[in-house]
Amino acid sequence: MTKVTAWSSRDFRRIWGATTASALGNEVGELALPVLALVWLGASAEELSWVRVATFLPYLALTLWIGVLVDRHPRRPLLIGAEAVSACVLLTTAGLALVGSLTIPMLIAAAAVLGSMAVLHMLADFSFVPLVVSREQLADANARITATQSAIGIGGSGVGGALASMFHGAGERGGSASLPVFSC
Residue 158: the pLDDT is: 78
Q: How far apart are the first and last CA of the chain?
A: 41
Query: For residue range 97-151, what is the model confidence (pLDDT) as tens digits?
Result: 889 899 999 999 999 999 999 999 999 988 889 989 999 999 999 999 999 989 9
Instruction: Round to whole Å and give the CA distance between 158 and 140.
Output: 27
Give the closest residue to 17 by CA, choosing from 47, 98, 25, 33.
Answer: 25
pTM of the model: 0.82
